[in-house]
């Protein structure tokens, strides 16, 4: 039995060690808006007035170190932007903030940029290509791939 095809993943909650530092990344660099705060312990952020897409809290992590590399846990979560221009603008803000990118890939169905938040969580910023442009196998199945993304060309489309 398959999960319903209209199922979506709606939001992510992250334990962070420093709420102000996390806000500087998610609000000030990526551009999410604060919808609700719970004192110095938690904040919820969204795009476009939704109740929240990202929850940040220090309930179990205030001052805690980032997980060690090579351990289980969150690999990354993905933030879907509506189009290439919006992706380019987001990447420009990240670079202007002096943050380092870990990768940039063309997957055929999407274009993706990879980086880490201040707590070491993997963040993917991406845009989907129109489904009609997705690469197909001869039998009609998806032919996804991973190729380098031309970052300079992408950034030329930023506002």
The DSSP H or E segment spanning 103 is strand 101-106
CATH architecture under which domain 1-62 falls: Roll (3.10)
The residue among 130, 48, 127 whose CA lies nearest residue 86 is: 127
Give per-residue pLDDT as tens, 91-139.
Answer: 999 999 999 999 999 999 999 999 999 999 999 999 999 999 999 999 9
pTM of the model: 0.91
8 A C-beta contact, residue 33 and residue 47: yes
pLDDT at 4: 80
pLDDT at 150: 96
C-alpha of 46 from chain center: 13
The residue among 23, 16, 12, 9 whose CA lies nearest residue 120 is: 16
In the chain, ranges of CATH 3.10.180.10 domains: 1-62, 75-159
Instruction: List Cβ neighbours of 70 (8 Å cut-off, separation of 6 or more).
Output: none
DSSP state of 12: E
pLDDT at 10: 85
| pLDDT of 159 over the 80 cut | no
- Which of 7-11, 124-128, 147-151 is least confident? 7-11
Give per-residue pLDDT as tens, 13-46.
Answer: 999 999 999 999 999 999 999 999 998 899 999 9
Q: What is 75-159's CATH number, 3.40.50.800, 3.30.310.10, 3.10.180.10, 3.30.420.340?
A: 3.10.180.10
């Amino acid at each position: 039995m398959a999960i319903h095809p209209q199922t979506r993943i709606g939001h992510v909650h992250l334990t962070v060690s420093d709420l102000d530092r996390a806000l500087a990344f998610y609000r000030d660099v990526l551009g999410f808006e604060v919808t609700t705060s719970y004192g110095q312990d938690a904040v919820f952020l969204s795009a476009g007035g939704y109740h929240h897409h990202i929850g940040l809290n220090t309930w179990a992590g205030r001052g805690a170190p980032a997980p060690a590399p090579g351990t289980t846990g969150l690999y990354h979560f993905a933030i879907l932007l509506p189009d290439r221009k919006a992706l380019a603008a987001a990447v420009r803000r990240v670079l202007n903030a002096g943050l380092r990118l870990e990768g940039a890939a063309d997957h055929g169905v999407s274009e993706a940029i990879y980086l880490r938040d201040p707590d070491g969580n993997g963040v993917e910023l991406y845009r989907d290509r129109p489904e009609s442009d997705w690469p197909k196998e001869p039998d009609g199945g998806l032919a996804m791939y991973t190729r380098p993304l031309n970052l300079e060309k992408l950034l030329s489309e930023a506002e």
